[in-house]
A and B are shown apart, each in its own frame.
Chain A
C-alpha cells in the first residue's frame, strides 16, 4: 500500500529536472570516451592521412552512437554545472566538452557524406579527449589524485608536517608562540571550558577513539588540525570545488560556512556540523566524507573536536603571556564586579596578535569598508587606521581588526561607537599606542575592557560622554600618559581624584582660556615729543620731526603746479615740496637749477 501511495503522490513539478538530468553526466560521459577510443583504434591505419571513410556496419554504429552519447553527456554536464558547487576550473572542462560534442556530430556528418575530413575529425576528437577527460577527472578526484602516491618519493625532510606527524606531537602546548600580554586577561569562564568532559566520553564511545580527549589544558591550533582537513575534506570543499558552497581550506572560509549556514560554533562541537557530520553513521545521508571516500580516523575526529572545543580560549591564549597551559580548573575567581559573566564579550577566533605580515584579505576587507590604512613609516610594520569614513555594513570594528590586531599602532574611531567586544579587542591589542575615540556620540559610554590595555599611551575622548565609573578605568591604564577629556562630562571631583591617583597623567583639553597681555605699550604718538621718563618708548623730538614743518614752497619748482605735501624732499636742511612723484627726480638730477627757481619765487 505504501508503494502505491508513493506512486500516487508522484509530482513531477516538484523535481528539479535540470539537476536530475545533470547528475546523469558521470554515467553518460564514459560512453563517448570509449567510443572515441574505439573509433580511433579502428581508423588507426588511416588516421594520419586524408581519406574518405569506409562505410561498414561497425563504423556506422560507432559513429552514430558517439554523436548521440556525446551530445547527451555534454548537455547533462552543462546542466550539472548550472546547479553550482564547482569553482572556476570547471569552465575549461565545460567548453572543451561542448567543443568535443560538436566535433563528434561533425564526424558523423562527414562520415555520412563520405568526406575526406572524417579521419582528421577522429584524430582531433581523440586529441581533444585527453585534456577534457583529464580536467573532468581532476574535478572529481582532485588535482593531485595521480601524483599523490608518488609524493613521498619526492618529500623534503623538513616539509610541512604530515598528518601522522601532527598527531604524534599532540602534547599539551607548553608555550604559545607570541607571548605579548600579561596573563590577567584570561577570562576564567572561558578557561574552564577547555575541559570537554561529557563530549569526550561520547566520542570515545561512538568512535572508539583512544585519543586522550580529557587531557586537561590541551589546546589545539588551526595549524594542528589543518592537515586533517586537507586529507579528508578540501578535495570537495576547497578552492577547486565548493560543494554546498562550503570551503574548508582556510580558517576564514571555515568560519564563513556554507549554503546551510555555519559549520563551526567555536567552543561548541556538538553544534558544529564540521564535527557532527563526521560522527554520524557512515550510511547516514548526511555523513561526511561521503560513503566510499577515505574516512578520517577516530583520533583525527577527536582532534578536530578538541580544537573546536578549545577555540575561544585558544585564540585568547595566543594573546597572553602564559608559559603554562590554560588551567583546566577555574582559577581563583577575581572580583565578581569585573566580569558580567553571562554575556561577556569574546574575541573572534581569527584574532591575531602576532606581529606577522598582515593578511592581504584583511587589508582588502578594510579597504572595501572605506577604512583608511597607512603604514607608520617605511621601516615599520605598524599601521595607522582611520574609521571615520567607514561604512561597516555586516562587519564590525572587531571583525575587521581581529586579523591584524598585532599590527595596529594608531587607531581613529571618530564618530564610531565601539561595542563591548570592540573595547575588549582594543584593550588587548599589544601595540596600539594612540587611540582616538572622539565624538562617539549618543549616551554615555563605558570604557569596559579598554582598561586592560597595556599599550595605549595617548587616548583622546574629546566629545565622548563617559560613564561615571570610567574615571577609575583611566587611572588603571598604567601605560597611559596623555588623555584628552574635553566634553567628556568629567566632574571637578572626579578630575581631582584622577589627578591624585595618577599624578604623572597629562590631562588635556580642559580649561583652555585665552591669556591677557602682560603689558601694553603707552599710547603711540609720533607727532609730539612725549617727555615721559618712565616710558620705554623713544619718543620723537620736535627737531627730528619733519612732517610738521611742511614744504616751504607752495608751487612745484619743476612743473610750476601747486605742491602736494605727500611729495617732499629734504635738501640741505630745506623741505621742498613737489606736485607729483616724478618731479623730485628732475629736481635731484639738477638741484642747482631748481633751487635757483625756488629762490626766485
Chain B
C-alpha cells in the first residue's frame, strides 16, 4: 500500500536523508568517532571518504578510513611544465639532420597520407619542408647521448636525468581541445584535471597549502587563451580544484583579510561561522558543510603559509644564481620554477606550470629563441635543485606541449625564417625523476619527423604510466557520477614500462 499523505512522505524523506547522512558518516570510521563538534571532523570526514573510495578496506588502515594509493608509490608528487601553444619538437629535441637536404622540398603525400590539417594551412598550395635552422649537440646520457638543440644548452646539460619521449601523439589538433585532453584525458571540457585526480586520490600532504597549485608565466611568442577550466576539478569535489598562485601583493585571490579586519577578528568570525555550520551539519548531515568548514580553515592557515612560500629570502645566492637573473621577477618562468621547488618540498601534490607563447605559426626562429631563453636555464636548474635535495627521486617532472609542430612551413619559408602549424601526430616531451628512467631517449619518428616510426606513446599512456608511478592502477582510480565510473584515462591507456626503472 502506498502512502500518499504528503506530510507522511515528507517525514519519510527526512528520515531517509538522515539515514544516508548517518551512513556516510559511518563509512568514514574516523568521522564516526570524531565528535561532530570539532573542526577536525571536517578534515577527518574528507580523509575518511577518501579511504572509503580508494582503499579496498581489506587492510587494517582501510578500516580506519586512512586513504592511500593502490600500491607503494615511487613518486609522491608531480611538477608538470605545460608549454602552452605547442613547442616545435623539430627545433628542440627531434634531431633530423637528413631534412637539411630537403629544404623547401614538397612534403610527400605518402607522409601526410591525407591527414586533415588546421584551417590555417589547409589552404596552402604547398607544404615545403622546413628543416631546423638550429644546431644540435649530443649530450651524455645513459645511452649513446641525446641530441638537443642549441636553444636548450642548460637542458642538454642535465640530459643524464631526462627521459626524452620523441614519440608522443595526441588526438586533438587545436589548442583548447588538446590542452583539455592533456589535462583531463578528454577533449570535451568537464572532466577533472590530472592534479584534481591526484588531490582526490592522495589527499593533501600539507594542509596549509592547496594540494594542486597552478603557476602561469606569460610567453614571448604567439599566445593562445588559457582557460581556468584547465585546472578545474570537474565533477570531483571543489576542494580538488587547482589553486592559481599569482604574482604581486595578492598571490591567492580573496585570501587577504579586508582592510581593517585583524587576524583575531577573522579567527572570531571563523569560530562563529564554524559553530553555526556545525549546528547545520548536525541537523542535515550534508557533507558539503564539512568541506566548506575545512576550506575556511585552510584559507586561514594559508594566510600565514603563502607569504612565507612566495618569499625567496631564505634561498642561498647559489640557488638563485642557478635559476638565472629572471628568478627575482615574480611571474617569470624562472621564478615559477623556484616556486615549484618550494611547493614540492612542502609536500604539494601537483604543481602545474604553464609557459605560454609557443604557438609559432610564423616567425618561429625569433619566437622560439625568446621562449627557450626564458625556460632553458630555470627548468634545468629545477632538475638539479630537486636532485640535490633528494626530491627528484619521488617527484615526476613532466615537460610537454599539448602537441608538436609541423615539419612543413606555414607561410614564408626562407633560410632564416619559417612558421610551423599544429602537429598532433608526433611530438617530443620529456620527463625526469619519479622512477622514470634517467638519461634515455624513447621512440623515433620517420625521416620527416611527421609520423611515429617506433614506440608510440599516447597521452592516455603517459597518464597511465605517471599514475602507476604515483601508486595507482589507472583503471581503478575512478569516480562514479551520472551512473558510470570515470577515470583520467577514460577507457584507454597502457603503462609504458619501458620508460620506467
Interface set of A (CB-CB < 8 Å, partner B): 356-358, 360-361, 363-364, 367-368, 370, 372-381, 383-384, 386, 388-389, 412, 414, 436, 438-439, 460, 462-463, 484, 486-487, 508-509, 512, 514-524, 526-527, 536-541, 544-547, 566-570, 578, 581-585, 587-588
Determine which of B97, B139, B150 lies in contact with A536 in the assembled complex, contact meaning CB atoms within 8 Å: B97
Q: How would residues 32 to 49 of chain B score, 1 for a CB under 8 Å from any chain A CB and 0 otherwise? A: 011000101001100100
- Find the residue from A367, A515, A517, A585 having the highest chain B CB count within 10 A: A517
Q: List residues of chain B with CB within 8 A of the CB of A516.
A: 157
Q: Contacts A379-B58, A389-B207, A581-B124 given: A462-B389 contact, CB under 8 Å?
A: yes
Within 8 A of A (CB), among B378-421: 380, 384, 387-390, 411-415
Q: Is B266 an interface residue (CB 8 A)?
A: no
Q: Is B260 an interface residue (CB 8 A)?
A: no
Bound form: Cα–Cα A539–B70 in Å = 54
Check if A547 sits within 8 Å of B414, measured CB to CB.
yes
Interface set of B (CB-CB < 8 Å, partner A): 29-30, 33-34, 38, 40, 43-44, 47, 51, 54-56, 58-64, 66-73, 97-98, 100-106, 123-126, 131-140, 145, 150, 153-154, 156-160, 202-209, 301, 305, 345-347, 380, 384, 387-390, 411-415, 471
Bound form: Cα–Cα A378–B476 in Å = 12
22 example contacts (A-B, Cβ-Cβ < 8 A) are as follows A357-B60, A357-B64, A358-B60, A367-B30, A377-B68, A378-B58, A378-B68, A386-B347, A389-B206, A438-B389, A460-B389, A509-B389, A514-B384, A515-B156, A521-B135, A521-B136, A526-B133, A538-B97, A544-B101, A567-B126, A578-B125, A585-B125
Query: In the complex, given contacts A368-B38, A372-B204, A526-B101, what are 5 additional A-B residue pairs having Cβ atoms less than 8 angstroms apart?
Result: A364-B33, A370-B207, A378-B58, A524-B100, A546-B104
B412 to chain A, nearest CB (A): 4
Check if A375 sits within 8 Å of B346, measured CB to CB.
no
Q: List residues of chain B with CB within 8 A of the CB of A379.
A: 56, 58-59, 71
A508's closest neighbor in chain B, by CB?
A: B390
The 9 A-B residue pairs with the shortest CB-CB distance in the complex, in nearest-first order: A514-B157, A584-B125, A375-B68, A484-B390, A517-B137, A357-B60, A375-B61, A520-B137, A460-B390
A14 to chain B, nearest CB (A): 36
Check if A537 sits within 8 Å of B97, measured CB to CB.
yes
Q: List residues of chain B with CB within 8 A of the CB of A460.
A: 389-390
Q: List residues of chain A with CB within 8 A of the CB of B54.
A: 378
Bound form: Cα–Cα A470–B384 in Å = 26
A564's closest neighbor in chain B, by CB?
A: B412
Bound form: Cα–Cα A523–B125 in Å = 31
Check if A381 sits within 8 Å of B101, measured CB to CB.
no
B47 to chain A, nearest CB (A): 7
B424 to chain A, nearest CB (A): 22
Check if A569 sits within 8 Å of B126, measured CB to CB.
yes
Q: List residues of chain B with CB within 8 A of the CB of A567.
A: 125-126
A462's closest neighbor in chain B, by CB?
A: B389
Q: List residues of chain A with CB within 8 A of the CB of B156.
A: 515, 517
Q: Contacts A378-B68, A519-B138 given: A438-B101 contact, CB under 8 Å?
A: no
B398 to chain A, nearest CB (A): 20
Q: List residues of chain A with CB within 8 A of the CB of B132.
A: 524
Check if B346 sits within 8 Å of A388, measured CB to CB.
yes
Question: In the complex, how many residue pairs between chain A and chain B have their CB atoms under 8 Å apart?
Answer: 228
A595 to chain B, nearest CB (A): 16
Q: List residues of chain A with CB within 8 A of the CB of B72.
A: 376-377, 380
Q: Contacts A514-B157, A567-B125 given: A540-B100 contact, CB under 8 Å?
A: yes
B384's closest neighbor in chain A, by CB?
A: A512
Q: List residues of chain A with CB within 8 A of the CB of B60.
A: 356-358, 381
B136 to chain A, nearest CB (A): 5
B155's closest neighbor in chain A, by CB?
A: A514
Determine which of B47, B73, B103, B347 lies in contact with A547 in the assembled complex, contact meaning CB atoms within 8 Å: B103
Check if B69 sits within 8 Å of A388, measured CB to CB.
no
Q: List residues of chain B with CB within 8 A of the CB of A519.
A: 137-138
Check if A375 sits within 8 Å of B55, measured CB to CB.
yes
Bound form: Cα–Cα A508–B67 in Å = 31
Q: List residues of chain A with CB within 8 A of the CB of B384.
A: 512, 514
Check if A414 sits within 8 Å of B125, measured CB to CB.
no
A317 to chain B, nearest CB (A): 24
Bound form: Cα–Cα A578–B137 in Å = 38
Check if B140 sits within 8 Å of A514, measured CB to CB.
no
Check if B125 sits within 8 Å of A569, measured CB to CB.
yes
Q: List residues of chain A with CB within 8 A of the CB of B202.
A: 374
Bound form: Cα–Cα A480–B388 in Å = 19
Q: List residues of chain B with CB within 8 A of the CB of A370.
A: 207-208
Determine which of B68, B137, B387 lies in contact with A384 in the assembled complex, contact meaning CB atoms within 8 Å: B68
B291 to chain A, nearest CB (A): 16
Check if B124 sits within 8 Å of A540, measured CB to CB.
no
Q: List residues of chain A with CB within 8 A of the CB of B125.
A: 567, 569, 578, 581, 583-585, 587-588
Q: List residues of chain B with CB within 8 A of the CB of A585.
A: 123, 125
Determine which of A486, A514, A526, A536 lies in contact with B380 in the assembled complex, contact meaning CB atoms within 8 Å: A514
- Find the residue from A368, A374, A526, A582 having the highest chain B CB count within 10 A: A374
Q: List residues of chain A with CB within 8 A of the CB of B104.
A: 545-547
Q: List residues of chain B with CB within 8 A of the CB of A386.
A: 205-206, 347
B145 to chain A, nearest CB (A): 5
Q: List residues of chain A with CB within 8 A of the CB of B63.
A: 357
Bound form: Cα–Cα A588–B205 in Å = 63
Q: Contacts A378-B68, A546-B104 given: A512-B58 contact, CB under 8 Å?
A: no
Check if A520 sits within 8 Å of B206, measured CB to CB.
no
Check if B139 sits within 8 Å of A515, measured CB to CB.
yes
Q: List residues of chain A with CB within 8 A of the CB of B390.
A: 436, 438, 460, 462, 484, 486, 508-509
Check if B97 sits within 8 Å of A377, measured CB to CB.
no
Determine which of A367, A388, A523, A568 lies in contact with B47 in the assembled complex, contact meaning CB atoms within 8 Å: A367
Check if B205 sits within 8 Å of A388, measured CB to CB.
yes
Determine which of A515, A517, A526, A583 lies in contact with B100 in the assembled complex, contact meaning CB atoms within 8 Å: A526
Q: List residues of chain A with CB within 8 A of the CB of B415.
A: 526-527, 547
Check if A524 sits within 8 Å of B133, measured CB to CB.
yes
Check if B133 sits within 8 Å of A375, measured CB to CB.
no
Bound form: Cα–Cα A138–B104 in Å = 97
Q: List residues of chain B with CB within 8 A of the CB of A566.
A: 411-413
A233 to chain B, nearest CB (A): 25
Check if A523 sits within 8 Å of B135, measured CB to CB.
yes
Check if A581 sits within 8 Å of B68, measured CB to CB.
no
Q: Contacts A460-B390, A509-B387 given: A360-B64 contact, CB under 8 Å?
A: yes
B340 to chain A, nearest CB (A): 16
Q: List residues of chain A with CB within 8 A of the CB of B412.
A: 566
Bound form: Cα–Cα A546–B98 in Å = 17
Q: List residues of chain A with CB within 8 A of the CB of B67.
A: 374-375
B351 to chain A, nearest CB (A): 15
Q: List residues of chain A with CB within 8 A of the CB of B98.
A: 538
A371 to chain B, nearest CB (A): 9
Check if A378 sits within 8 Å of B44, measured CB to CB.
no
Q: List residues of chain A with CB within 8 A of the CB of B205.
A: 372, 374, 386, 388-389, 412
Q: List residues of chain A with CB within 8 A of the CB of B133.
A: 524, 526
